[in-house]
Structure 1
């Protein structure tokens, strides 16, 4: 496992934006939930807007419900993946 820069880790935990190829990006976490609403899996994604993060979360295969978080802020709760192709 590669070493993680502690400064980068801290910034990602509090949702600070960073630049990737000139575009401002934010770190998001997608918490996949079971039927009781308990977190069973976490996936990290990077997106330039909340809407893009939600689109990326909807594109994840095999999910029933999830929450999208930017740092300590809840961005969205997604429960309907039926419209995702």
Structure 2
């Protein structure tokens, strides 16, 4: 999967990419030792939200990881 375009970014929270396979949201997870990113496939309707909607989506992913685990992409998508 190749990230083609960065569509939205909120530093230390998320980056939304358009890829050759659809939309990917990189979400920053905080731990006591280091922060790390995980990538998740998102639908077009999820990707087309305004900044507040994307912030809420990234927070839902962080707090409900098990609900989004089936959409996780490894390795992490990079530009």
Superposition TM-score tier, normalisation by shorter sequence? 0.3 to 0.5
Scaled by the length of structure 2, the TM-score of the pair is: 0.38
Between structure 1 and structure 2, the one with the greater Rg is 1
Q: Going by fraction, where is helix more abundant, 1 or 2?
A: 2
Please report the TM-score for the alignment, with normalisation by the length of structure 1. Answer: 0.36
Higher RCO (CA-CA < 8 Å; seq separation 6+): 2
